Amino acid sequence: MNIKELRDNINGIDVQLRDLFLKRMELSRGIAEYKRENNLPIRDSAREQEILKAAVKGQPEEFTGDLTAFFTKLFQISRGYQSRLFWGEDTSYMDELLENISPAREPGVVAYQGVKGSYGEQVFSELFPKARARECASFEEVLKSLQGEADYGILPIENSSTGGISEVYDLLRKYGAYIVREHVIKVEQNLLGVPGAHIQDIKEVYSHNEGLSQSRDFLAEHPLWKQIPYYNTAVSAQYVAQTGDPSKAAIASLRAAEQYGLEVLARGINFNKNNNTRFIVVSSRFEAAEDADKMSVYLSLAHASGALAQMLDIFSEAGINLTKIESRPIYNKSWEYYFYIDFEGSVHEERVRKALARAEKQADYFEVLGNYKSAVRI
């Protein structure tokens, strides 16, 4: 056969594939109605595996992977169709969110945890040089300040060495704050002592838990030192300076050393030299600039087989790239979790709005935490 005859044959097969596909989707509608009436989950993983095995059995080995990919995509399309039939295209949740977008504003007061010389203060000075600082004793106080005088708050949420900061994830949900911006800084931890102190004098080391964790290899070389978790790295430096005790040291930044007149006993003691911390700027109001390209949501799901997989399918079917998933325990419900998810996208995109509308209906609990410009480039 010549190429025209070959293409004519392919065209004929494509018509058959189309007709069979539409017939299959009509049967999927019936399946969806049955599942809805009997309160069954959309995804049946065992059934999918059964079909896949039958599809490749006895077929040429060179096409096994392609057949698997073909049917896997077919399953995904079918689940998406069934989800739309289950939940419809109701976008009222997202419509309400869009109606309440607030414009970014020039802040008068910005809150951060710690004192001068802290990493939070560094982010404040880089992002809001004209604003008035409000120093807070805790992460929770930062969020509480949004209900009063503070326009924005600054919180660390993730470190490239030690991972997510659990307390911050929990507080975001508790106080209903929105992420409006993120900022990444390089973090160098240093051992600081009072003037004239030496490493051999040290008996106690003060720092925030993150500072101690990021310096664990260095601290392991000094097993006799007592490690004392403190409110903040800079507060630790401030305390050591106030005591004037050469047996006490702090793990903090060079900014803190300069601020409180301490000497650097050991520099760059963090075990990961590519040590970065991602900070978020939070607000009591939802902001979503036109150039926002990253979103965060918080959700919980039914404690049932396949619930998380079905939720992730919604994002996959919309072509949305997930960049982070963090789980947090639900209090009073052992072994059940909230999920914090970051992904690429914007509420200004229709595909994102539709996906989030579906996700909101499928989840037991669902909140959009923010839509902002990503500061992380992979």
Report pLDDT for 377.
60
What gap in Å lies between CA 348 and CA 290, rounded to an integer? 7
- Domain residue extents for the chain: 3-87, 92-100+287-372, 109-187+276-283, 190-266
∠ CA 133-135-141, nearest 5°, is 120
Q: 57: which 2 tokens?
A: 């059995």
The answer to whether 71 is a known catalytic residue is no
Q: Same topology for domains 109-187+276-283 and 190-266, yes or no?
A: yes
Q: Which residues pair with 359 in a beta bridge?
A: none
**Are residues 210 and 189 in contact, defined by beta-carbon separation less than 8 angstroms?**
no
φ, ψ dihedrals at 190, nearest 5°: -135, 145
What is the value of pTM for the model shown?
Answer: 0.77
Number of CB atoms found within 10 A of residue 25's CB: 14
∠ CA 92-97-102, nearest 5°, is 155
Q: 212: which 2 tokens?
A: 């101690």
Which of 174, 175, 171 lies closest to 156, judged by CA? 171
Per annotation, catalytic residue among 233, 277, 315, 339 = 277
Q: 12: which 2 tokens?
A: 């004929």
What gap in Å lies between CA 341 and CA 326, rounded to an integer? 7
∠ CA 230-173-165, nearest 5°, is 35
**Are residues 180 and 104 in contact, defined by beta-carbon separation less than 8 angstroms?**
yes
Q: Is 225 exposed, middle or buried (0-12, 13-18, 19+ CB in 10 A)?
A: middle
∠ CA 48-51-55, nearest 5°, is 140
Edge-to-edge strands, sheet with 190-193: 226-229, 204-207, 248-252, 190-193, 263-266
Query: Does domain 92-100+287-372 sit in CATH 1.10.10.10?
Result: no
Which long-range contacts (C-beta less than 8 Å, at least 24 apart) are formed by 323-331? 323/294, 323/376, 323/378, 324/158, 326/164, 326/169, 328/166, 328/169, 328/170, 328/173, 330/300
Q: What is the CATH number of domain 109-187+276-283?
A: 3.40.190.10
- Please give the span between the terminal C-alpha atoms of the chain, in angstroms, as a whole number: 49
Q: Which residues pair with 278 in a beta bridge?
A: 158, 184
Which of 279, 269, 118, 263 lies closest to 188, judged by CA? 269
Domain 3-87 superfamily per CATH: Chorismate mutase (1.20.59.10)
**β-bridge pairing 248-252 and 204-207:** parallel
Per annotation, catalytic residue among 279, 286, 339, 366 = 279
Number of CB atoms found within 10 A of residue 371's CB: 25
What gap in Å lies between CA 208 and CA 141, rounded to an integer? 16
Report pLDDT for 302.
85
Report pLDDT for 91.
65
Q: 273: which 2 tokens?
A: 């030299």
Q: Where are the beta strands (DSSP E) in the chain?
A: 109-113, 132-136, 152-159, 163-164, 178-186, 190-193, 204-207, 226-229, 248-252, 263-266, 276-283, 294-300, 322-329, 337-344, 365-372
Which of 206, 211, 210, 208 lies closest to 194, judged by CA? 206
pLDDT tens track of the chain, all 378 residues?
A: 899 999 999 999 999 999 999 999 999 999 988 988 888 877 787 898 899 999 999 999 898 888 988 998 888 788 878 877 776 666 677 777 888 899 999 999 999 999 999 999 999 999 999 999 999 999 999 999 999 999 999 999 999 999 999 999 999 999 999 999 999 999 999 999 999 999 999 999 999 999 999 999 999 999 999 999 999 999 999 999 999 999 999 999 999 999 999 999 999 999 999 999 999 999 999 999 999 999 999 999 988 777 898 899 899 888 999 999 999 999 888 888 999 999 999 999 988 998 998 898 889 899 999 999 999 765
At the topology level of CATH, where does 190-266 sit? Answer: D-Maltodextrin-Binding Protein; domain 2 (3.40.190)
